[in-house]
Amino acid sequence: DTAVSQTPKYLVTQMGNDKSIKCEQNLGHDTMYWYKQDSKKFLKIMFSYNNKELIINETVPNRFSPKSPDKAHLNLHINSLELGDSAVYFCASSQDPPAGGRETQYFGPGTRLLVL
């Protein structure tokens, strides 16, 4: 069974469109994250939710809106897609919120978004 799953795996779309990426974890974790990995493999945190509440919101355009319907799901909706949004987006989860490394994060396989 996949611990952290994301759909879709690949997403190709036109500029200006709105798209969503879904993430589910079956590990019973309380905390979930979204990361963006650019073409140079640089990985950066975007958001984190703990028990459906937003706890981390890095400097991300407000075109990106995370939604957590329950602890096991954290979806990412992106409005008015731009060329610079092309990247790989990773979902992750951990048992506890960030607390000096006591938690291990488990990553999904990634969603490769290409904006044309």
Partner 1 sequence: GNSVTQMEGPVTLSEEAFLTINCTYTATGYPSLFWYVQYPGEGLQLLLKATKADDKGSNKGFEATYRKETTSFHLEKGSVQVSDSAVYFCALSPRDTPLVFGKGTRLSVIA
What does the binding site for partner 1 look like in residue numbers (CB under 8 A)? 4, 33, 40-45, 48, 56, 90, 92, 97-102, 104-110
- Measured from the CB atom, is 52 or 112 closer to partner 1? 112
| C-alpha pair distances (Å), 108 with each of 4, 20, 50, 111 | 5, 16, 17, 9
Q: Work out how close the CB of 35 gets to partner 1 at its nearest, in angstroms, rounded to a whole number.
A: 8
- Measured from the CB atom, is 111 or 115 closer to partner 1? 111
Q: Work out how close the CB of 23 gets to partner 1 at its nearest, in angstroms, rounded to a whole number.
A: 11
- Measured from the CB atom, is 17 or 22 closer to partner 1? 22
| C-alpha pair distances (Å), 65 with each of 62, 101, 102, 107, 116 | 7, 26, 28, 20, 21
Nearest by Cα to 79 from 60, 62, 101: 62
